[in-house]
Amino acid sequence: MMKKALLLLTLIISIAGISQNRMTPELLWKLKRIGNIQVSPDGEQVLFSLKTYDLDKNGGSSDLYVVPVAGGTPKQITNRPGSEFDAQWRPDGEKIGFLATPETGSETSIFEVNPDGTDLKRLSYGAGQINGFKYFPDGKKIVFIKDVKLNKVKSQEIVSDLPQSNARVIDDLMYRHWGSWDDGKRSHIFFAVIQDGKMQGSGIDIMKGENYDAPLKPFGGMEQITISPDGNSIVYACKKMEGLNYAISTNSDLYVYNVLLGNTNNMTKKYTGYDLDPSYSADGRKIAWLSMEQDGFESDKNDIMVHDYETQLTTNLTQDFDITVSSYVWDDTGEKIYFKSVKEATYQLFEYDLKKKAVRQITEGVHNYTSIAFAGDQLIGGKQSMNHPTDIYAVNIKKGTETQLTDVNKEIYDDLEIGNIEKRWVTTTDGKKELVWVIFPPNFDKDKKYPALLYCQGGPQSAVSQFFSYRWNFQLMAANDYIIIAPNRRGLPGFGQKWNDAISGDWGGQPMDDYISAVDELKKEPYIDQNNIGAVGASYGGYSVYYLAGMHENRFKTFISHCGLYNLESWYGTTEELFFANKDIGGPYFNQIVPPSYAKYSPHKLAKNWNTSMLIFHGEQDFRVPLNQGMEAFQTLQVKGIDSRMILFPDENHWILSPQNGVFWHREFYSWLDKHLK
């Protein structure tokens, strides 16, 4: 009896030890997150933020660190209540500026601190809530953004005798966007003088009276604003449209504000797609930006444009290269540009030589570079993979060799069991080659059979690259003993623009065949239990789950959809950025000639074939794929008597952002899979 008890105790301890050495939802939220990587003006130090989360408090905070480019131990330079963000070096390198909330007051302000963490001082007073900033090159002025109230959108603002009324008054489209309702405020750009260690006044609004946002909401930041080296010009991206016009167009432009004269000119008027992220060469003789050709196509090829002020010529540097650019940076001579681009489902660093008109790939490997900064003979960037969150690396420009500068999660990863990642090429139904990532559980045993998950990517034009997600985390899936099949189906960048564009107008066509090709090929492996395969995904990936549910011919045993599109007609009637629907679906369902997508590719048309269990997640504040999509799908499942559950998050939008909601999401996700696949 004693031997049996000891054996049982040993087994319990052994199992506990295994579980502690694998990723869990709680452990995922303990990982430190690096962000905002900035190189000092002398190229010798790297500034970055490090965010940590407290699950019990359901929140997180970030502090600032510096680490030498040559390598060394990172030094923490801030340790105050709350978070420091948008940190950057002052042009003279003697101070670091950042945004934070003062200990007394609630409006985010600009602070400065010495690079060693001493002499912390507040720079801005009385300017209101500042949402982003940049120094002028001479450090004597500052440009910043803040919201300006321009429109009355609530009943209390329109009438004074009904203080308890809370109606929204809507006269045009874009009354809500991604995850927020229009509050009548617009983000405007200001500049102000710095004198005696303080920003003077509340700033000059360079967009005064304009009913537009700059940067572009909801994702644009200070990368969309630049200042000329002589300090005489502020160049910014803006889509100067309202309502319906804004909803159907991606035609943003770059505007040049003359600081001395106070006037503004449009420098990209002849370009009709997105024009974003302007940046001057160090000598001010050239300006670069990222540009898309097509109006209405948010996932068009992204090229680097350069305007030469001496020759007055504008050149598309990457026009003849079948690549799309994510971000870029000048060197210190104005002769080379370094950029980040996706290639075969990995984000790598590249060089463009303006004299040779040539592109050279600098880095290689199974990873993603998440940022890029110039530091003399090196590039500095964040690097991650499916199995590891971001750390900072220095890359030798000539050789491409990498030096790791940080290892912020070493304590956790030293004891963590990691599954292997395999790169497979699968032949599709039309004879093309599709890259499929296969992620294996830790301690994988090829003689065992494992349940598998088909991962359906969102976007739809968003690469299944070596990203490290804190929700769709492949390492966490593998730690739960699932094999993940992650195809780079039609419609993803990194395999040429033709492959990327193929999904528009064909959502339920070849991309679905690509999913099936990947599953059918991988389930031939003896270690995959072909009777226990699930399909999971969010956004377009959630759409894919709904669509596959109606045509999978019993390949899948269960489904999980997060914020998926179920009924394309009702979705068109409630989503906000209509240029996306017009491009990818073909336009409104009420056109005289109805786009074929509504009849052929709306998942609700195939709901008559649904016969498989399904879990649905949806954020109630999701305005890109509104709540009714999840509700319609769930009602279909319930009426048909199919085992199903719907979990709604009242305060979340297209993503799950709070720690405790994130952990609950994961617990329900794996509870559902364990019930139906094991």
- ∠ Cα 611 671 466 (to 5°): 90
Find the Cα–Cα–Cα–Cα dihedral 466, 473, 628, 643, rounded to 10°. 130
| Whether residue 109 lies in the annotated active site | no
Tell me how far the alpha carbon of residue 88 is from its chain's centroid. 21
Q: b/e string for 572-583 if b means 16 or more Cβ within 10 A?
A: beebbbbbbbbb
Return the number of other C-beta atoms located less than 10 Å from residue 377's C-beta: 13
Give CA–CA dist 585/596, Å, rounded. Answer: 8
| Cβ proximity of 547 and 571 under 8 Å | no
Q: Which of 188, 388, 604, 654 is catalytic?
A: 654
| Cβ proximity of 616 and 561 under 8 Å | yes
Instruction: Read off the amino acid at residue 407.
Output: D
Give CA–CA dist 272/294, Å, rounded. Answer: 6
Question: Long-range contacts made by residues 204-210, C-beta under 8 angstroms, separation at least 24?
Answer: 205/148, 206/234, 206/257, 206/262, 206/264, 207/238, 210/186, 210/240
Give CA–CA dist 644/662, Å, rounded. Answer: 20
Backbone torsions φ then ψ of 495, nearest 5 degrees: -130, 25
Kindly write down the DSSP assignment for every residue of 404-457, as one continuous string.
E---TTHHHHTT-----EEEEEEE-TTS-EEEEEEEPPTT--TTS-EEEEEEEP
Cα dist from 169 to 29, 152, 154, 172, 186, whole Å = 40, 8, 6, 10, 17
Rounded to a whole number of angstroms, the distance between the first and last alpha carbons of the chain is 32
Q: Which of 213, 253, 277, 622 is catalytic?
A: 622
Three-state DSSP class for residue 318: coil
Give CA–CA dist 566/146, Å, rounded. Answer: 37
Question: Long-range contacts made by residues 351-359, C-beta under 8 angstroms, separation at least 24?
Answer: 351/397, 352/304, 352/317, 352/318, 354/306, 354/317, 357/317, 359/318, 359/321, 359/323
| Cβ proximity of 339 and 350 under 8 Å | yes
Return the number of other C-beta atoms located less than 10 Å from residue 53's C-beta: 20
Three-state DSSP class for residue 155: helix
The DSSP bridge partners found for residue 235 are 226, 256
Return the number of other C-beta atoms located less than 10 Å from residue 430's C-beta: 11
| Cβ proximity of 262 and 173 under 8 Å | no
Q: Which of 187, 249, 326, 539 is catalytic?
A: 539
Cα dist from 5 to 1, 8, 9, 10, 236, whole Å = 6, 5, 6, 9, 71
Cα dist from 302 to 319, 340, 346, whole Å = 9, 11, 17
| Whether residue 252 lies in the annotated active site | no
Burial category of 107 from C-beta neighbours within 10 Å (exposed 0-12, middle 13-18, buried 19 and up): middle
Instruction: Read off the amino acid at residue 177.
Output: H
Return the number of other C-beta atoms located less than 10 Å from residue 565's C-beta: 30
Tell me how far the alpha carbon of residue 135 is from its chain's centroid. 26
| Whether residue 299 lies in the annotated active site | no
Active site residues: 539, 622, 654
